[in-house]
Amino acid sequence: MIIIGIVENSKDRITFKLLKEIFTMSGYKIYYENKLESMAVLNKGNTNIIIIDIKSNLISSIENIGFHFNILIHTFLSPKDYENHKLKKLFSESEYIIINCDEERWTYLLNDNIKPIVITYGFNNKATINPSSYNIHDLIETNICFQREIKRIDSTMIEPFELPIKIYSREKLDIYSVISTITCGLLLGVDKFSINTFMNFNTHIV
């Protein structure tokens, strides 16, 4: 079983929705989703994925349950969230961290002796993954550049490559949710055909 957590200070909780979509496009079925739409269980053959939208008021409960996250995704947080030691502990105990390094305080989430595999993304040139040559008109067109090799959960490698995408939104911040979603999908073996299908059918960010 794979457990994915998302921490984002966003009213629309876009990344949670996009993750469900990309896995559905790659053949997963939604087996269960709670009424609050903060947790979904997806299944494909013998593989189960749990996606949890980690809102600030749930962090203590999640820690008490003892969830071990295979992947934690960070997009944007409030200043108060960066001071939450329980959230920092969740990051330190996860297997992979996909983290927005354009956030001023993103390093606050990392311990000095960090054990997880950290994948940074953003417009920062030092990021593992960054968008380049983007245009925003009626939609966003950009290339996502994977700058370095990344080891998947199954230990195979994602080689450096460039992926052209279109996002049907005029909001630049939506780029972050799309990049983190695609990265998470690649870590779990979602193929490029499914990613292209996801981008073609995901016509509007809502």
Question: What percentage of the chain carries pLDDT values higher than 70?
Answer: 95
Side by side, which strands form the sheet with 29-33?
29-33, 39-44, 47-53, 2-7, 71-74, 96-100, 117-121, 129-136, 140-146, 161-167
Task: Give 121: exposed, middle or buried? Use CB within 10 Å, 0-12, 13-18, 19+.
Answer: buried
* Residue at 107 is within a domain: yes
pLDDT single digits (tens) 12-71: 788 999 999 999 999 999 999 998 888 999 999 999 999 999 988 888 888 888 888 999
DSSP structure class, residue 103: S
Residue with tokens 């499914």, as numbered in its chain: 194
pLDDT of residue 203: 44
State the CATH number of the domain containing residue 196.
3.40.1190.10
How many domains does the chain fold into?
Answer: 1
pLDDT of residue 57: 80
Under DSSP, is residue 13 helix (H, G, I), strand (E, B) or coil?
Answer: coil
Please give the residue range of the domain that contains residue 104.
Answer: 2-201
- Neighbouring-strand partners of residue 47: 44
* Residue at 206 is within a domain: no
Nearest Cα to 118, choosing from 174, 178, 175, 183? 183
* Residue at 182 is within a domain: yes
pLDDT single digits (tens) 60-112: 888 888 888 999 999 999 888 998 889 999 999 999 999 999 999 999 998 77
* Residue at 99 is within a domain: yes
* Residue at 133 is within a domain: yes
Model confidence, pTM: 0.92
Nearest Cα to 6, choosing from 42, 59, 44, 43? 59
